[in-house]
A and B are shown apart, each in its own frame.
Chain A
Amino acid sequence: MKILVPVKRVIDYNVKVRIKQDGSDVDLSNTKMSINPFCEIAVEEALRLREAGTASEVIAVCIGPKIVKEQILAALAMGADRAIRIDVEEQPEPLVIARLLAKVAEQEDAGLIMMGKQAIDSDNNQVGQMLAGIMGRPQGTFASVVKIEGDEALVTREVDGGLQTVALKLPAIVTADLRLNEPRFTTLPDIMKAKRKPIAETTAADLGVEVTSTQQQLSVAAPATRQAGIKVASVDELVDKLKNEAKVI
């Protein structure tokens, strides 16, 4: 079984974002970029399934301009066998991404698509579910445990009240939550080796997908800042303030 792992290039999770002066978007110039942390967890899980003998090949897919090669190489250095880059100028909307990934998944006949539950830039949490809908496949979102048993994937999901386990008929789509695993570190030899791994390139047109957009970002603003608070000296003062000033207890 082949596992397809979509990875996204996003602002590094430690960087505090800046908003552009004109309020049109966030400013990503000269900003450190990385693989989205959830995508990294998905790559790790795919590699573990291959190492356990469940999967034969792990293929990383990344959508974006040439620069996303940095993130592709990071996934290859972790251990993905090969990669596909879908060339587009700008990051398309989730529905278009799902359509593109559906085409690649069909071409590759992927038995499992393992991906992150959300990207930390747009915070949408949509693509995996949309992909499952488009392909008519079952979905296991927010996974904290993934077991492949025969033609089924047993996925334990992190839900609001605790955990839920579902059984999915393969082929399926699984999205990774934070606690699924701890991604491995890569070493210099891994990175050198990654440079020799194949990266195929394709375009939206090749895949027969039109890059359309139905959402327009009218403005981006900084969140309302909170008024500076005060430091209290004792528990008594704290309780007094909460009772008499803030009136919340």
Chain B
Amino acid sequence: MSVLVYAEHDNASLKTETHKLVNAAQKMGGDIHVLVAGEGCQAVAEAAAQIDGVAKVLVADNAAYKHQLAENTADLVVELAADYSHIVAAATTTGKNFMPRVAALLDVAQISDIIGVESEDTFVRPIYAGNAIATVQSSDAKKVITVRAASFDVATTDGSAEVTSLDVVKGSEKSDFVSAELTESERPELTAAEVVISGGRGMQNGDNFKLLEGIADKLGAAIGASRAAVDAGFVPNDMQVGQTGKIVAPQLYIAVGISGAIQHLAGMKDSKVIVAINKDEEAPIFQVADYGLVGDLFDVLPELENSL
């Protein structure tokens, strides 16, 4: 019995999600092998080899895997699947994209977005936008699983696993990468940040998000947004926190001008401490906030920035 963990990376660096995946994989039992698929990703493989608990790192370094297209990645993982009882990837847009394809090709079900491991075949996952928590037992011979990284701790890095190169090349003729338009940001990544400050419709426009920047810089925080702020065009969609955006669980989450719709709460209610700043004291966000401040964000934010 062993576990194959698909490394989350951008070809240059290994993402923290991978460390959390290894932590989750340890609860499933057996040897842990990490697969690094990409192009020019040796540095990523070396970083993966240092994660405690990893027995082996497999590297598939080829142009076919550069953009981690679902067709190629799924075929690669299926090729390796015979040796593993569990195949695990992060519930990021990469993992969500190729893993169900892997499951279908292996003719097994998938367990999505787990937040807990009860045993090798029993897992805990949220349903209905996090308003219910289901415990699910799988009788499939192979478990194909995506993991909500925010629910697991980061594994330590004192290891020195062996790194093996794979020469399996899977390239589908049916899909091609055309272009990418990535958001530039100096701040920590939303899903990995210890502190997140998010703005909602109450921010009124995109320029006003600058009011969050000073505070974010002082706290080393990532900036997020509610769907209302994204739909109104204030900020790009990859900043969205919620059921359909990113799921975060930082130490501190500051919601500014966010009412707290179910779909937004689904993305942040596992944060350790939640602060709400809203002028409507009836806003549902105050029901989940540890500290609520009723006030106009245009007064509160500059004052908050000054006092930090």
Contacts and interface: CB of A to CB of B under 8 A. Distances in A.
Interface residues of B, number: 89
B122 interface: yes
B238 A129 contact: no
A239 interface: yes
Given A124-B110, A249-B308, A217 B227 contact: no
Contact of B74 (A133, A154, A158, A164): A133
A230 interface: yes
Nearest to B97: A141
A242 B99 CA distance: 40
A124 B135 CA distance: 14
Among A95, A127, A144, find the residue whose CB has the most chain B CB atoms closer than 10 A: A95
Contacts of A132: 70, 101, 104
A217 B135 contact: yes
A154 B128 contact: no
A248 B251 CA distance: 7
Among B70, B94, B274, B281, find the residue whose CB has the most chain A CB atoms closer than 10 A: B70
Contacts of B96: 125, 129, 141-142
A167 B290 contact: no
B292 interface: yes
Contacts of B274: 226, 229
Contacts of A205: none
Contact of A129 (B10, B101, B108): B101
B80 interface: no
A17 B127 CA distance: 10
A215 B237 contact: no
A161 B10 CA distance: 10
Interface in B96-144: 96-105, 107-113, 122, 126-140
A239 B304 CA distance: 8
Interface of B is mostly: mixed
Contacts of A142: 93, 96-97
Given A123-B128, A226-B290, A230-B291, A217 B134 contact: yes
A235 B180 contact: no
Contact of A179 (B97, B126, B133, B237): B237
Interface of A is mostly: mixed
Given A120-B129, A248-B272, A138 B108 contact: no
Contacts of B92: 160
B130 A223 contact: yes
Interface stretch (B31-39, B56-64, B169-177, B203-211): B169-177
Contacts of A227: 290
A210 B10 CA distance: 40
Contacts of B231: 178-179
Nearest to B281: A231
A46 B132 CA distance: 32
Contact of A164 (B67, B71, B137, B237): B67
Interface in A91-143: 93-95, 98, 117-118, 120-134, 137-139, 141-142
Contact of B101 (A11, A17, A130): A130
A162 B100 CA distance: 22
A26 to B, nearest CB: 5
B178 A165 contact: yes
B65 interface: no
Nearest to B106: A133
Nearest to A224: B133
B108 A214 contact: yes
Contacts of A222: 131-133
A16 B94 CA distance: 30
Contact of A248 (B177, B238, B252): B252
B137 A120 contact: no
Among A118, A121, A124, find the residue whose CB has the most chain B CB atoms closer than 10 A: A124
Interface of A: 11, 13, 16-17, 19, 26, 93-95, 98, 117-118, 120-134, 137-139, 141-142, 144, 154, 157-169, 172, 177-179, 214-223, 226-227, 229-236, 238-239, 241-242, 246, 248-249
- Among all A-B residue pairs, the 9 with the closest Cβ atoms: A133-B104, A129-B100, A130-B104, A126-B100, A133-B101, A138-B175, A138-B174, A162-B182, A229-B290
